[in-house]
Amino acid sequence: VMTLPVADFKLLLAERNLPLLGGGKGADPKQQQQQQPKQALSAAALSALESIASGGAVARLAPADAAALGLAGGAAGGEDDDGGALAASAPPAVCVWRTRASLSVLVTKAESDDMLEKIVAGEGKHKAAKPQVAAAAGGGERAQNAPAVAAL
């Protein structure tokens, strides 16, 4: 299981097949230069990939990111998280296939797009909530002064 931050998880879902920089041991340097991706996974994600052997794996959204986006019910990685595969509070995850040179998503494009839409919607709600909280904090003072101004 590989845990990814939200930016890397979105990139994986959007691209569905990511060439890995470095390509692993024995990779042809000329091919590496020709296959430089426009966007790449973060250094933290590439570091996590080093411990994953070639073959099938699971890539999941970091529990803290899933909770912040409202995509994980319940504990979302807290002390009550039993780590069970069928946990209702599990963050979004996809099956992937890792080779020396790439990481590919093993779900349909429709499923990838659906999951990506949920993440983007969660980000939109999260960003929209921040200005409302700030406005509520500053707006309280204005609301208290409004009757005084109206009385003038």
| DSSP labels, 55-95 | EEEEEEE-HHHHHHTT---TTSSSTT----TT-TTPPPEEE
* 151 inside domain: no
Is the pLDDT assigned to residue 18 strictly greater than 50? Answer: yes
Range of the domain at 97: 1-19+41-72+90-126
Place of tokens 């599990």: 90
* 145 inside domain: no
* 102 inside domain: yes
Place of tokens 């794996």: 57
- Of 44-48, 61-65, 120-124, 139-143, the one with minimum mean pLDDT is 139-143
What pLDDT shows up at residue 7? Answer: 93
Structure tokens at 38: 């426009």
pTM above 0.85, yes or no: no
* 148 inside domain: no
* 119 inside domain: yes
* 139 inside domain: no
* 25 inside domain: no
* 57 inside domain: yes
The domain total for the chain is 1
